[in-house]
Every structure is written in C-alpha cells, then in structure tokens.
Structure 1
Amino acid sequence: MSDLVFIAFPNEQKAEEVRDRILGMQKEYLIELGDAVIATKDEQGRVKLNQMVNTTAAGAASGAIWGTLVGLIFMAPLVGTAIGAASGALGGYLTDTGIDDKFMKEAAGALSPGSAGLFLLIRKLTADKVLADLEGVGGTVMRTSFDHEQEQKLRDALAGHAAAPQPAPEKTDTAG
C-alpha cells in the first residue's frame, strides 16, 4: 500500500531541492516512490504541475518510432512517423500514472500565491533514515495518509527537531 504526502514550501526552488534530495535517497534504496510532483501557484491563483515524467512527450517519442517502422513497411515513413507521434502523444496525454492530477490541483489550491508544494506517492521507505536526511529542510505538512505518530515525526523532522530519545526503563533491585 502506498502513502501520500503533501508538503508546502515557500517557493518552487525549495520544493525542487527537496524533491532532488528524495530522489537521491531513492537511488540509495531508502525510499521507493510511485510519483513526486511539484505544484506551483502563481500570483493569479493558477496551479501548475511539474511532473517527474511527461507522459505526452514519452508517448509521442515511442509513437514516432513505431509509426516510422510501420511507415517503412508501407513505403510512407514520414506519414507513419507523423501519425505514430500524434497517436502516441494522445495516448500519453490520456495516461495518468501516479497521483491524480485533479486531486493535486485541488489540494494545491490551499497554497499561498508564489509558493509551491511537493506531492509524494511513497511505496516503501526506511522511515528513520529518510526522516534523518530530511531534518531541518523546512516545509509545512499539508496532508498525509500516515498515522498520527508518523505524521508528527515527519513534521518534527522538517522543522529540525530530532525525536526525543526515550528514557531507558529504570532497573529495580529485586535482590535482597
């Protein structure tokens, strides 16, 4: 089961910096992401999504390749390329993987103009190491699907507060 996290930042640069840091942790196998999207809200209140993967462009590229191959068979490679690119782009545009775009735009509506938010779809994570690496980066937790305890640990880490160590249980002397 995946968890959703939405963190607000004062600007897009800070959100991008944190996303890059989290993507670096993914390369170290500390976290596995399904999606990581930055939402920005401009001064007019419009929300723009900065996806990790542009499915429209990817679809157009693969469609162009397949269209060229099919076009070569029928002796019309340019026509095949154009038709393949167009159909691939349409297929990519209609394919929405990860976090629902409509949900992100609605949730990002709560951002202040000029600020940004980072949406993370987390499949797996090594919580203690990820939280330690995110300690003090800033940001405000807007929404999560974590339980209350995990959410509070995330809030504390972003704010730069290390989790207070639990005192060791006192030993009682039963001899005597």
Structure 2
Amino acid sequence: MNTLTVWAFPGPEDAALALGELRELVEDGQVSVTDAALVAWPRGRRTPATRELGAISAPGQMWGGFWGMLLGLVFLTPLAGPAFGAAAGAVAGTLEDFGVADDFVKRIRDHVTPGTSAIFVLTGRASADEVAVRLAGPEVVMLRSELSPEQAEHLRKALADG
C-alpha cells in the first residue's frame, strides 16, 4: 500500500527546514521514500513555488508526472478560470481512480495557503508512520491518503503513457 502524506507547516520556510529531518530518516535507512515534493508559498505570491525532491537521496520512481498533475490541480485550478476549471474537474474526477479523493485535494487547499509550506511524500504505510513520529508538531498538519497497489499501478501506467 502506498501512502501519500502531506505535511503542512505554518511558515513558508518551515517545510524546507523539516526536509532535513526527512533526509536524515532516509539516509539512516529508517524510512523509504518513493517520491516527494516541496511546496513553499510566501505571502503576497499568487501561487506557490514547487520543487520535486525525488526519493530524497535518489531519483524518484516515475511519480514526477503525478506531482505536476496533483500540484497543478491543487494550486492552479482555482486561479485558472472556468474553462480550465472544467477540464481540470474532469481530470480531478480521474484522480479518484488513483486513490486521491476530491476531499483530500480540498483539505490540502485549506491548509497549504499563502504564508505556509508543505512536504508531499509518497511512501509505504510503515514509512509514513515513522515519518509521522519525526515530523509531527503542534502547528504541523498531516493529511494522508492511501493508494491501493492497483491504484498505484494504474497511476504508473497512466503516467508512462503520457
């Protein structure tokens, strides 16, 4: 089972600081990260800055298209207007097939806003639990979505075809 976890932090630089903790877990062999992305949203900017992180200590495992699709739907769709919104809505409907529910996307939008930052991490369930122990804090919000093996394979095939 793949777990998509989003760690939302209260400041625009906080996720970058927490990335050191995640990197330490990976380098010590305590967790295995399939792929990750960093989002920083300084106040006054219309959209956040995003950066794909791969598997933290190695290239990601074919999820780059996923980050582009997910982060675009989360952060660009609300700003792009009705025409793009309708097309993105159709794509978002297909995200359900991959285990990413509309309410999960909405919760991300509610927590990752101007003045905040986030780390998006794709791991196995056990690694997600271990990361939770290390990154948890009083002002840190964790959002989690489970992808079944079938959903993950469906997503990999869709991204490979695109």
TM-score bin (small chain): 0.5 to 0.7
* 1:120 corresponds to: 121
Q: Offset of 1:13 from its aligned partner?
A: 2.0
Structure scoring higher RCO (CA < 8 A, sep ≥ 6) equals: 2
Larger radius of gyration: 1
* 1:106 corresponds to: 73
Partners of 1:23 and 1:101 lie apart in 2 by: 22
CA RMSD of aligned residues (A): 3.0
Report matched runs for 1:21-170 at 5 Å: 21-42=21-42, 43-53=44-54, 97=64, 99-108=66-75, 110=109, 111-123=112-124, 125-126=126-127, 129-136=130-137, 138-141=139-142, 143-146=143-146
* 2:3 corresponds to: 3
DSSP-derived class of the 1:16 partner: helix
Which residues of structure 2 form unaligned runs of 5+?
77-108, 148-162
Partners of 1:9 and 1:44 lie apart in 2 by: 17
Which residues of structure 1 form unaligned runs of 5+?
59-94, 148-176
DSSP-derived class of the 1:121 partner: strand
Q: Offset of 1:36 from its aligned partner?
A: 1.9
- TM-score calculated relative to the size of structure 1: 0.49
Q: Offset of 1:114 from its aligned partner?
A: 2.2
Q: Offset of 1:137 from its aligned partner?
A: 6.5
Partners of 1:14 and 1:2 lie apart in 2 by: 25
Q: Offset of 1:118 from its aligned partner?
A: 1.1
DSSP-derived class of the 2:32 partner: strand
Structure 1 pair 134–113 and aligned structure 2 pair: CA distance change class (3 A): closer
Partners of 1:99 and 1:131 lie apart in 2 by: 22
- TM-score calculated relative to the size of structure 2: 0.52
Structure 1 pair 37–140 and aligned structure 2 pair: CA distance change class (3 A): same
DSSP-derived class of the 1:19 partner: helix
Percent of matched pairs sharing the same residue: 18
